[in-house]
Amino acid sequence: MTSTIPVRLGGGAPAAEPPALRRTLTTPRIVFLVVAAAAPMSGVVGSVPLAYAIGNGAGVPATFALAGLILLCFSVGYAAMSRHVVGAGGFYTYVGQGLGRPPAVAAGLMAVLAYTAAVAGVAGAFGYFAELVSAAHGLPVPWPVWTGGALALTAVMGYRRIDLSARLLAVLMVAEVAVLGLLALAIGVRHGTDTLPAAAFRPETVLAPGLGVALMFALISYVGFEAAALYGEESRDPKRSVPVATYASVVLITVFFALMSWAAVGAVGADRVAETAGRELGDLFFHLSDDYLGTFATSVMQVLLCTSLFGALLGLHTAANRYLFVLGRERVLPGSLARVHPRHGSPHRASAVLSVATAAVCAVFALAGAHPYTNLATTMLALGTVGIVALQAAVAVAVLVFFRGHPEAHWWRTRLAPVLALAGLVGALWLLLDNFALVTGSTSPWVNRIPWLMAGAALGGLGHARWLRSRSPERYRAIATASPHATPHPTAHVTDED
């Protein structure tokens, strides 16, 4: 017999007050955390030229617009659900509220794996580019030293209050966006109306061979945008801040990448951009900067590329340790992960564990003599992107189920938009898996089977949830509840049999 269990106000043992995160985040600070994780500078320098070269060339700006539309549809349902589900559990909590406890545990373990992989990948990319930039300025320091230093600083920032991280990320992000904005303005001054050629949005350009690959690279640039929901418990007004920050993040990322990639098409030429990008790759925007702004601006861009990667590292780290914190608080993982620092109000234990795990992954690659970018960064970022896109698709399904028969169900917000998002995300996931070897740049069958780790995490989560249901019913009932410090919506529930 199925009995309905209302969303409880406790995330652990019912007799004790669960640990609380400090409410210090405003909506703008959440936006900075989320957009910084997308690393605007490194996305423009690293992903956009690849999308030109092996994607649909001059159609890349329209491809970013398409990716933005898919994720805006996702955000509509995500934001609608965020008004009823407040917590630091993100995908884990949303999947649990919509699809039940076993899928929630599967989603939680997949999220931990995906975000940890993404953090390790960004750490490798930071070490690689920091080594190049420092060597160019007469300071030859090997990448493991740079990566280790970045991870140490990230660990310190993760240990302290999150609003400190938000302030630092705001400064870094504004600087990198300002420099790229100056480049786009300089291109506009020289080329006038030809800066944004209409050819980039013509159907024959957008639908050229390689559209799927370009869409894949575009979606990689949005990794982490959904993290606004992870900061619900730390927001001063979560029912407003989470949906507003989610929408704002998608719109800002879309507009920025579409305009920058469009201006570069105008600067290089729609008929030459694919060939030029294939030849210059990561140097494409540096050469444009040399031409339009001068070598000093290029040097600044190179430094900001490193700070952009550090911003992404810090943003993804803060998102990942929120998953560890909630899974610890609800005793899916060891409860010690849920300890909150008495002075900083931060999930310091989860942050420390994540820092050690990330450092261990990077150390394994370094000791194996692997390349920090073409091996560590590409492989780990590809794995993280596969997991996050799969989780986004699961959340789209969870939104549909959550609002089935709900008094606030709406034809667009909770039905059509999630369906459109699901279709786009499933297609994107197929493209990621089908082109995984292209993203990693590896012919190794072992490397290109790494996405199976996500399937293993999901199956392990399902098995662990069933074990908890039989061995520890109280812990099982606490899985994927809403925030223990928020008022639940009266219709939100999961059942004993979920």
Give the residue with greater pLDDT, 347 vs 471: 471
Which residue's entry shows tokens 């564990």? 353
Would you tell me which CATH number, out of the four given (1.10.1060.10, 3.40.50.620, 1.20.58.1180, 1.20.1740.10), belongs to the domain 4-495? 1.20.1740.10
Q: Would you state the structure tokens that stand for residue 84, as one six-digit string? A: 């009823």
- Residue-wise pLDDT for 135-189, tens only, equals 888 888 999 999 999 999 998 887 766 556 667 777 878 888 899 999 999 999 9
| CA distances, 289 to each of 133, 136, 286, 382, 467 (Å) | 16, 17, 5, 28, 57
Q: What gap in Å lies between CA 154 and CA 313, rounded to an integer?
A: 7
How confident is the model at residue 13, as a pLDDT? 39
Q: In 3D, which of 150, 117, 156 has the Cα closest to residue 134?
A: 150
144: nearest Cα among 370, 339, 347, 469? 370
Q: What is the pLDDT of residues 315-342, one digit of tens each?
A: 888 888 889 998 999 999 998 887 887 7
Confidence of residue 2 (pLDDT cuts 50, 70, 90): very low
| Beta bridge pairs of residue 4 | 495
Picking from 363, 302, 382, 351, the residue whose alpha carbon sits closest to that of residue 143 is: 363
Amino acid at 374: T
Name the average pLDDT for the chain.
84
Reported as a single tens digit per residue, the pLDDT across 439-466 is 777 788 888 899 999 999 999 999 999 9
pTM of the complete model: 0.85
Residue 19 is given by DSSP the state P
Residues 193-221 have a mean pLDDT of 88
